[in-house]
Structure formats: structure tokens, C-alpha cells
Amino acid sequence: MSGYAEYLKDLLRPLRVYELEGTANGGELEAQGQALDGVEAGLEEIQREMLLSTAEDRGLEAVESLLTRRPVTADLEMRRAALAALLRIGGDSFTLAAINDNLKGCGINAQARETGKAGTVEVYFPDVPGIPDGFEELREIIESILPAHLDVEYVYWYITWALMEQKFSTWGEIEAMGPTWEELEKMVE
């Protein structure tokens, strides 16, 4: 029995006029209740998808269709945050704090910092060792977000010898794992 069918029957039960179980009246209330349940489900989906903070599929796709770039992430929360950042970009987004807020539109944590050289900023990825996956697409997004007059230098980070000595006691341990040099460079956790 559907939720609304029971609700409708509960409304009519105190009248004691209708036979609500196993009759045409009961069947009609069941049909109307199922239709109302379908409407409720549709409204719940619309309500969820109309807000960027709760959207899961169609709502996010609708927002992405309005933008020239899509965030480079499959993670739902990061995708929502990236779209929100892309929507915040405006004509007054040229301070370093505003630029860093806008860079969240990449879909990963990208940060810009001043270099001391006029017209140049560094962009680094504090949560991602090495060159991030999908970097070419990230680069396009970053360079479309940053003011066009700025030169962009990308900075990557890798495991240091000190971290490697803390993590592994001998080279034999590393060789037993069999990582490539690129994999070894990114073993920072």
C-alpha cells in the first residue's frame, strides 16, 4: 500500500461512511495514492537537483552546460564545490584571494601565489604529488580563470630523500614493491 493511499484512507476512516478495504472505494484511493506518491517522488528529485549543494546528476549537468569548462573531477562533493567556484567568477576576481577561490573551479585543490616577478604567478597543487591526472584540461581551466595578462608557472612537488628515508628502511624494501620511478616520486603518504 502506498503512503498517500493510507493517508487518504486515514482521512476518511473517521467518517465511517466508506468501506475502504477490498472495495471500489478502496481501489480508487489506492490508485490516487500511487499517483500522489509518484508526484511526491518527482518533486523530491526536482527539489534535490535545483540546488547546487544537493544536486547529484541532472542539476549538475544543467549547471555545467552553462559553463565553457567542466571541473576535472568525478567526486560529487568536489564537483559541486568546483561548479560553485566557477559560478562565483566575476569581473572583480583579480585579488590573490579571489583568484585562489576561483581556482577551486578546477575540481582539485589548485593554489596561486605571487612570485615576486611582475606579471607572474605560480600555481601549485598542494594535495597532489607530481603532475595531476588530466593536467592538460586543468591547465586550460586554470588559464581561462586567471587574468590573461599573467604568466603562469606550474610548480609540482615530489617525495624528498628525507621522506623516503623515513618511509623505507632499505632500498630492498622499495625494490620488493617494484614501483616505477614516477610511482616512487609520488609516494608521499
Q: Regarding predicted confidence, which is higher, 43 or 102?
A: 43
pTM of the model: 0.56
Interval 42-57 mean pLDDT? 90
The pLDDT value given to residue 93: 63
> Which residues have CB under 8 Å from 69's CB, separation 6+?
86, 105, 140, 141, 144
Amino acid identity at 43: L
95-143 pLDDT tens trace: 778 788 778 777 788 888 888 888 888 999 988 888 888 888 888 888 8
For the chain, give the percent of residues with pLDDT over 70. 96
For the chain, give the percent of residues with pLDDT over 90. 12
> Residue 22, SS3?
coil
Residue pointed to by grid coordinates 625494490:
175
The pLDDT value given to residue 47: 92
The pLDDT value given to residue 1: 46
Q: Is the pLDDT of residue 66 over 50?
A: yes
Give the integer Cα–Cα distance in Å for 6 and 148. Answer: 62
Q: Is the pLDDT of residue 69 over 80?
A: no
- Domains of the chain: which residue ranges? 3-49, 58-155, 158-189
pLDDT bracket for residue 92 (50, 70, 90): low
Q: Regarding predicted confidence, which is higher, 93 or 117?
A: 117
CB-CB neighbours of 113 under 10 Å: 13
The pLDDT value given to residue 81: 85
